[in-house]
Structure 1
Amino acid sequence: MQELVDGLILYHGSYCEVRSPQIEKCARRKDFGKGFYLTTSKEQAVSFLKTAIVKAEAGGVIEPGQEYGIVSTFEVRLNHELSSYIFQSADEDWLHCVAAHRKRNSFTEVEKKMSQYDVIAGKIADDATNRTLVAYISGTYGKMGSKTADDFCISQLMPDRLKDQYCFKTARALECLHFVEGEKIWLKKR
C-alpha cells in the first residue's frame, strides 16, 4: 500500500464525472465506512463503472441504458495534516474493519477507533470478493472474529491479488483532492 503523500494520483469510477466530491452524497456501510473511495489502479476504477451505472439506474439517478462511465482523476495535495490509517495487507485487522463497517454492531470497538481518521486505506473488497465477505459476516465460516473464520475467509480472498482503495472520510480530507480530469469510458464497443 502506498502511503498518502503529495502528488499521489488516485482514480474514481462512476456513472458521472466527479469534480467536487461531497461526504453527504457518499453511501454508508462501505468497507471503511462512509466516504469518497478512490484507488491507485485506473483499471480498478474502470472495472467499477458497470456497478456504478447499475446502482444509479436502480436509484433513478440516470436513465436506463447509459453505455459509458467516467473515471475521474485526482492528485493528492496535502495542504494540511490529515490523520490516516493504512492497512498494509488484507489481514485479520483489515477483515474486522471491513466487517465492522458493513454490519452494524459487529466490531463496535474497531468501528469507533476508525471513526477518528480522515482517510483509511487498504485492500479493496470488490464484487469478486463480496460473496466471501457476505459468507464471513453471516457466520458461514464460523463465528465472526474467531481465528478459524478469519483465517479461512482471508485465504479465500487471495489478498495478494486485491487492489487498493483510499476512503476520504471527512470534508477536511476531501480538500486535499485536486481534480485533474474526467475520462469517458465506453462499456460497449460503438
Structure 2
Amino acid sequence: MILYHGSNIDIKEIDLAKSRPYKDFGRGFYLSADKNQALRMAEQRTSILLEGEPTINLYEFDEKLLEDSSLRVLNFGEYNTEWARFVLKNRDINTKQPCHNYDIVYGPIADDGVTFQLRQYKAGMISLEQLVNELKFSHGITFQYFFGTELAISKLKKI
C-alpha cells in the first residue's frame, strides 16, 4: 500500500528525533493512506512554519506487516474509549514519554481542537464518552499510521 506524509519539505531520511512529542500516539512519524489528508497536513505545516512548500512524501508499506509478530502493533479500528484513553496518555505533558512501546499504531485522527477537549475532560466537564465524540475528526473518520521505532521506520520504502 502507499502511505503519505505531509510536510513542508521533501524528507530524504526519516529522523525520529525530529518528531514532536505529545501527539495522538506519541512521538513518531505519522502517515495516512488518504492523500488529501496528507495534503492538508502539508499545508498546515507550511503555514505554521512560514517556510517551504506543501510537500507530500510517498512511502510503500506492506500492510501484511501489521500482522507480523516481530512488530508490536496496536490497532484502533474506530473511535472508542480505549482509543481516547491512549490519546489522552500520549498528549499528557505530565506523563513520562514515551508511554508505550508499540512500533506501529493505527487509528483515527483526533480533531484539531483536541487540547480544549482534553482540558474539559480533565476538569470533569465532559465524560469519556463525550470526549470520544468530541475528538472525532470533523471531516469524517480519517485514520493515521504512527511509526515510532527504527524497526517500524525500516519497513517503509520511500517512493
2:127 is equivalent to residue 149 of structure 1: yes
Asked if the contact 1:14/1:71 (under 8 Å) is kept, the reply is: yes
- Determine the structure 2 residue equivalent to 1:102: 91
Matches within 5 A, 1:57-136: 57=50, 62=51, 66=52, 68-77=53-62, 78=65, 81-105=70-94, 112=99, 115-125=100-110, 129-131=111-113, 133-136=114-117
SS at structure 1 position matched to 2:4? strand
User: How far is 1:134 from its partner?
Assistant: 2.0
Distance in 2, Cα, partners of 1:165 & 1:123: 6
Over 3 Å counting, the alpha-carbon distance change for 1:36 and 1:135 in structure 2 is same
Q: CA deviation at 1:80?
A: 8.8
Deviations 1:28-76 (A, max 9, x none): 111100000001100100111221113333xxxx3xxx5x311011011
Q: What TM-score comes out, normalization by structure 1 length?
A: 0.71
Q: What is the root-mean-square deviation in Å for CA atoms of aligned residues?
A: 2.5
Cross-structure match for 1:138: 119
Identity of aligned residues (%): 25
- Three-state SS of the structure 2 residue aligned to 1:48 is helix
- Whether contact under 8 Å (1:19, 1:72) holds in the other structure is no
Aligned 1:14-29 pairs, distance under 5 A: 14-29=7-22
What is the alpha-carbon distance in structure 1 between the residues aligned to residue 49 and residue 151 of structure 2?
27
SS at match of 1:99: helix
User: After TM superposition, which residue ranges in structure 1, 4 or more long, deviate above 6 angstroms?
Assistant: none
1:35 aligns with 28
Q: TM-score, normalised by structure 2?
A: 0.83
CA contact (8 A) 1:141 1:152 kept: no
Alpha-carbon distance between aligned partners in 2 of 1:177 and 1:81, rounded to the nearest angstrom: 15
- Asked whether the equivalents of residues 109 and 136 of structure 2 are also in contact (C-alpha less than 8 Å), the reply is no
Retained in 1: the 8 A contact 2:121–2:128? no
Instruction: Please tell me the residue identity of whatever aligns with 1:17.
Output: D
Determine which structure has more spread, i.e. the larger CA radius of gyration.
Answer: 1
**8 A Cα contact 1:141 1:149, kept in partner:** no
State how 1:50-61 maps to structure 2 within 5 Å. 50-57=43-50
The count of residues paired between Structure 1 and Structure 2 equals 153
